[in-house]
A and B are shown apart, each in its own frame.
Chain A
């Protein structure tokens, strides 16, 4: 079992990563700071709940997700959740296809996916790509993929129609695909170092 001062130090070390995780999702510095603070307090209040079966980071991230969901709900009540719709993005989808609906060009093959998932640098690039998503798209995408909420739940929280939600998620994936293509897979396959 870790001693309390050790735990303090370890949590302090995790703080920057936790903050970025919350900020990517909430896009609100105060709310992100609060969510992290509450998470750390929750861990410190019940240090024995951490059984050490997973890494501390995994354990704390799990708690942080619940705190983020709480904050998303309270932001919604305060009407701070309304982020302007992204600029017309039909082009994003349309530009991939010709008039007959066929793909223009071919998708770059993303080699060695399993090996890629072991590389720390890859996750840094992914994080920056997430950061570069338009705010609303990012929030929706991360509610789905990070907080692993069901689509019905996201629609309810954000007052979106389901078909609208599917399109937002589709666009988010297209943007991330493009960003990863450009900044990771393209560079890896051409042997260029980041």
Chain B
């Protein structure tokens, strides 16, 4: 198995890393890729952020009022 992976594999590993423990070789591959790839590093940060945001709503629930922004109209 090569130590080098491309963005497509890195993205998938970043997501799967949130759902299962990655193997040692997967972690090594990902680490090496992230060291040289800004896009995937950005994606990694976005995924950790999304997890945090979901955790916050999971424990605190949703606010009572939800309709102050234009909903469907403004969100595509």
Whether B7 lies near A126 (C-beta < 8 A) is: no
Size of the chain A interface, CB-CB below 8 angstroms: 62
Chain B hits for A103, CB < 8 A: 7, 11, 37, 39-40, 43
**Beta-carbon nearest neighbor of A166 in chain B:** B16
**Beta-carbon nearest neighbor of B70 in chain A:** A194
Whether A145 lies near B54 (C-beta < 8 A) is: yes
Tell me whether chain B's interface is mostly helix, strand or loop, or mixed: helix
Whether A179 lies near B63 (C-beta < 8 A) is: no
Judged by a CB distance under 8 angstroms, whether A3 is at the interface is no
* A-B CB pair tally, cutoff 8 Å: 145
Judged by a CB distance under 8 angstroms, whether A42 is at the interface is no
CA distance A132 to B76 in the complex (A): 9
**Beta-carbon nearest neighbor of A55 in chain B:** B60
Whether A17 lies near B42 (C-beta < 8 A) is: no
Size of the chain B interface, CB-CB below 8 angstroms: 46
Cβ 8 A contact of B57, one of A97, A116, A126? A126
A33-87: which have CB < 8 Å to B?
Answer: 55, 57-58, 60-62, 64-65
**Beta-carbon nearest neighbor of B16 in chain A:** A166
**Beta-carbon nearest neighbor of A100 in chain B:** B6
Given contacts A177-B46, A183-B74, A183-B75, contact A106 B60 (CB under 8 A): no
Whether B66 lies near A173 (C-beta < 8 A) is: no
**Beta-carbon nearest neighbor of B65 in chain A:** A16
CA distance A100 to B66 in the complex (A): 43
Closest CB of chain B to A184's CB: distance in Å? Answer: 9
Q: Which 7 A-B pairs have the closest CB atoms?
A: A101-B6, A61-B61, A107-B42, A101-B8, A145-B54, A170-B15, A17-B62
- Where the two chains meet, the residues of B that have a C-beta atom closer than 8 Å to any C-beta of A are 6-9, 11-12, 15-16, 18-20, 37-40, 42-43, 45-47, 49-66, 68-72, 74-76
